[in-house]
Amino acid sequence: MTELKFPFTVICMDDKRRPVEIPPEKWVKEGRSYTALKAKPVMGGKAGFVLEEITLDESNYPYDCINVERFGIPITDNAESEEAVNELIQESLLEEV
């Protein structure tokens, strides 16, 4: 199985529906690579990535991470990679609790 550890590279696949509270200069751009530093829980039981390149501070914005569903992971073996990413996200979320 592919082993994956933070940090790792992700690619933004969806930059649509930017929350109005986050200015465009603090938002992800489709097709651009980012460094995922960790995963955090977000509303609705989902997970979000904290990105090295974008600083979202909850004191200024209502969000401090970006939904993982907006990103793809550039790894060659998709089935194993997806499983590795899901395991890493789940481990990271458990650490947040």
What does the domain layout of the chain look like in residue ranges?
Answer: 8-96
CA distances to 22, 40, 61 from 7, rounded to whole Å, are: 24, 14, 23
- Least confident segment among 50-54, 78-82, 87-91: 78-82
Q: Hey, is 85 helix, strand or coil?
A: helix
Prior bond of 7 cis (ω within 30°): yes
pTM over cut 0.85: no
Q: Is the pLDDT of residue 75 over 70?
A: no
Report d(CA 23, CA 71) in Å as an integer.
Answer: 19
Q: Is the pLDDT of residue 71 over 90?
A: yes
Confidence (pLDDT) at 48: 92
